[in-house]
Amino acid sequence: DAGVIQSPRHEVTEMGQEVTLRCKPISGHDYLFWYRQTMMRGLELLIYFNNNVPIDDSGMPEDRFSAKMPNASFSTLKIQPSEPRDSAVYFCASSFVSSGEKLFFGSGTQLSVL
Amino acid sequence: SQQGEEDPQALSIQEGENATMNCSYKTSINNLQWYRQNSGRGLVHLILIRSNEREKHSGRLRVTLDTSKKSSSLLITASRAADTASYFCATPGGGGNKLTFGTGTQLKVEL
């Protein structure tokens, strides 16, 4: 298996633009997580899905953030409009319930909002 | 909010030495996990220890868990330059598979 795949690897955009981050989880995994990592706040859980259904979105910072999982093999995290304070590394991770909650992370998307 | 706090924040050692990192957490847990993050990469799972376990080994890694003190430690023996990375503890919180990560320890192993 190729592991969790995220795209793009790097994204540079201007304030006010829409940003869409993409994630393909490991096949057969039924949990998908979006995390954000910054120097100031560390790793923060934004939202997670179980069987494509959002379970907990309490970490989503504002209404500007939205996430979808239309099927078991694809998820998006959208920021509209983007702001400089959204600059961070965004990670997607997936897990299989029988793996004992072990998470498999993608390589992340480095987002810079100018 | 972060459940775990790692100590020290940064650690620099010579190759061949042992490295010990500590993690303290706040609420009751059923397991605790350690992850490694190399610069510019995603996190990689290292080891999981359950609340009914006190110690667990995996290769050069040794993890201990003291639920009475709400703390865990990760020991890397005979460190190598390739062990240079950030190490995070993670605990389940809020039910289900939701993992909360600590602040991390930056380990540098020098030749």
Helices and strands (H, E) in chain B, number of each type = 0, 11
Closest CA of chain B from A103, distance in Å: 7
Residue A16: CB atoms within 10 A of its CB come to 10
Give the Å distances, CA to CA, from B33 to A44, A54, B13, B68, B102: 16, 24, 23, 17, 10
CB B42 within 8 A of CB A107: yes
Asked if the C-beta of B101 comes within 8 angstroms of chain A's C-beta atoms, the answer is yes
Q: What is the pLDDT of residue B3?
A: 63
Nearest chain B residue (CA) to A50: B97
Q: What is the pLDDT of residue B5?
A: 83
Q: Which residues of A touch B56 (CB under 8 A)?
A: none
- B97 confidence band (pLDDT: 50, 70, 90): low
DSSP state of B78: S
Mean pLDDT of A7-35: 96
Nearest chain B residue (CA) to A98: B97
Query: Any idea which residue has 């393909």 for tokens?
Result: A24
Segment B28-73, tens digit of pLDDT: 888 999 999 999 999 999 999 999 999 999 999 999 999 999 999 9
Does residue B106 carry a pLDDT above 50?
Answer: yes
Mean pLDDT of A18-40: 95
Q: What is the pLDDT of residue A68?
A: 97
Q: What is the pLDDT of residue A71?
A: 95
Nearest chain B residue (CA) to A57: B98
Residues of chain A above pLDDT 70, percent? 96
